[in-house]
A and B are shown apart, each in its own frame.
Chain A
Amino acid sequence: MLALQLLARPRRIRAPRGAMDPIERTDEELMAAWVRGDEAACGLLVARYAPLLGGIFRRQVGVDEAGDLVQQTFLQLHRARLDFTPGARLRPWLLTIALNLAREHLRKQGRRRTGTLGDVDPEARDAPPAGRELEGREDAARVRAALRELPAAQREVIELHWFQGLPFAQVAERVGASVSAAKVRAHRGYGRLRELLERPRAEGVRAEDGHGLR
């Protein structure tokens, strides 16, 4: 009975003491350690990658769902850890898992998130900052809303090319398309994104009031 209770007891991941990784180990070394059962390595990977994944999910899906999807990404990484082969790089794995989860999340919702450029960012709503920070948050919210107006295929390519800085060959690999298809999606996506972002901010405000453009 005691053994069963011990088995059922949730194991806590040991969190790193600081935001910085105290030991300079590569992602792949940490992953290999996690595969060997070192749970502290998992905690370090979470600390290292959660902000990046959070940023991806905010842009791809939305602020509200980002935290849950970051957890799901690490859950999937946990399930897939024995598939991780020495010599492979961890970051592309995480990016692909994150994009797969984001796509599936949006499909479950049965919609492409169509936030308008005037959508209020929950963060800005909760804690209104001032000055340059406010401008930065407004920009971020506008970009997120604009990205969500793009088809998922274009949005994913822009995420990988612009925000993650991957060359088109790797972008194509991550989204499961040919390089030329990835380039075409990017070209169309950037064109549409430019149109959306070049709209005056006032249009976004009108959109929020229900009178503006979508």
Chain B
Amino acid sequence: MDCADVLDALAAERALTGPEAAAHLAACSDCAGLARDAAGWTGELRRAAGPAPVDLVALQAGLSARLAGERGPLGWLRSRPAWQRALLLLAVAPVCPAVIALLKGFPLRADLPHHWLPRFVLEAGLLGLVLLTAVWTALRPVHRPALRPGAALAAVLLATLLAAGLALLPAAHSHGIDEPAGTCLVYGLQFGLPLAICALLLSRLVTWPVVALAGLAAGVLGDLVLHLLCPDPRPLHLLLGHASVVATWAGVVLLLGLLRQLRARPA
């Protein structure tokens, strides 16, 4: 018998008798405390266990009004299965970068022949994997345990570190074309914005972790697109112009989280 068996027995109103129970209660002071005079506190818990009285008419009227608000195109999109919403989001992701690249006439990396292809693919693959994970987790079905804010915060910080780490690797080659880091940063932020907005619109329950993951996805998308387009491989440029996109989005979502904390009502 272990502590969980004692808790199960108390919850099921089973008597804690027998040599195994006695041995465990003798060895575990916490369980002994729970079992001692258990009738009192477990009785109170049991009396509080019943269902609550509910005004069904008012409840159904309120729910009807809420369901009526779900009848537009957005409601329809939100009610699609999680995998369909994720696919939709991934389809939306390249649209904005493609439009900007076409309008501005950005070619794919001119320095690609000088680049060691496995490294190029690996870096893009890593960023793509983070993007996919962020999108899928942001649209995580609400009937599954929600992502905790601490986990979302860790994901944002790790992604920022990953982007910075990739930027600080030794330059892939010395045949690059110098580009201003500020320009890359501005374009990188624009590339991911529609993705972040769509992720929030498609989410069924917008919580801070969802906002954080949407921002993370937007930042990583911006970094990924710059990785595919920008021909400047200098580490300093990659840090200030590319990884900074992820860091900026991370800063925005952290700021939103902080504001949310400040706006919360005091206890």
Contacts and interface: CB of A to CB of B under 8 A. Distances in A.
B63 to A, nearest CB: 5
A83 B266 contact: no
B4 A71 contact: no
Interface string B117-151: 00000000000000000000000011111101100
Nearest to A168: B4
B104 interface: no
B264 A109 contact: yes
Contact of B141 (A55, A74, A83): A83
B264 A79 contact: no
A75 B81 contact: no
Given A46-B56, A165-B11, A10 B146 contact: no
B3 A93 contact: no
A112 B265 CA distance: 11
A136 B261 CA distance: 37
A107 B149 contact: yes
Contacts, number: 192
A25 interface: no
A155 to B, nearest CB: 12
Given A50-B59, A83-B141, A197 B71 contact: no
Interface of B: 3-4, 7-8, 10-11, 30-31, 33-34, 37, 40-41, 44-45, 47-68, 70-71, 75, 78-82, 141-146, 148-149, 204-205, 207-208, 260-261, 263-267
Given A15-B60, A110-B264, 14 more contacts: A9-B68, A54-B51, A55-B49, A58-B52, A75-B63, A76-B204, A100-B145, A104-B205, A104-B207, A176-B148, A186-B4, A190-B34, A193-B45, A198-B41
Interface of A: 7-13, 15, 19, 43, 46-47, 50-52, 54-55, 57-59, 66-68, 70-72, 74-83, 92-94, 96-97, 99-101, 103-104, 107-112, 114, 136, 139-140, 142-144, 161-163, 165, 167-168, 173-176, 183, 186-187, 190-191, 193-194, 197-198
